Amino acid sequence: MTIPNQPQETPSIRPQPEINQQQFEMLLQQRRDNQNLGLGILGGAIGALVGAALWALVTGITNFQIGFMAVGVGFLTGYGVRKLGQGIDKSFGVVGAVLSLAGCLAGNLLVICIAGSKELGIGVFELLTHMTPSVYVNLLKETFSVIDLVFYAIAVYEGFKFSIVRITAADLTH
């Protein structure tokens, strides 16, 4: 709607800087030469473990499982992959996504173990050492909720998104 006798504002259009294709290709190759998937996996694993531990700690303190902690797990995992791996390829995103899911599962498992250790009156680490992988899987199945899928999906997305180093216009001007 226009108001009569009022000057109309014209939207400002900023010209987009022209990208030098050769400079872009050189930067892309330089970034590929410096990426390290092994270090990315290490960084992501550290992020996933820290995220899982924080999730379990917050849940243990509050006695309330906060599903949004999965977002934090995804972020920490992706950040770890990106910082140590310095990757620009999608494989780094896949690593971040997979490790984010693993971190969420580990966080849920730690929460279950904290509750179980309180109920049994033993330490969490003692409980963990007496469990087998099949017990872990059964515990995760028994405590699974549909809402978990939502939070896992968000964590996987965050893990993928934050794992890849983006090339920005500022990178091309340096």
pLDDT given for residue 27 in this prediction: 86
What is the CB neighbour count within 10 angstroms for residue 102?
A: 19
Task: Tell me which residues of the chain have a pLDDT lower than 50.
Answer: none
Task: Please state, in angstroms and rounded to a whole number, the distance separating the CA atoms of residues 88 and 40.
Answer: 11
What is the CB neighbour count within 10 angstroms for residue 46?
A: 18
Helix (H, G, I), strand (E, B) or coil at 42: helix
pLDDT given for residue 51 in this prediction: 96
pLDDT given for residue 13 in this prediction: 67
pLDDT given for residue 39 in this prediction: 98
Global pTM value: 0.81
Helix (H, G, I), strand (E, B) or coil at 6: coil
pLDDT given for residue 4 in this prediction: 57
What is the CB neighbour count within 10 angstroms for residue 36?
A: 14
Q: Which residues contact 157 (CB under 8 A, 6 or more apart)?
A: 74, 97
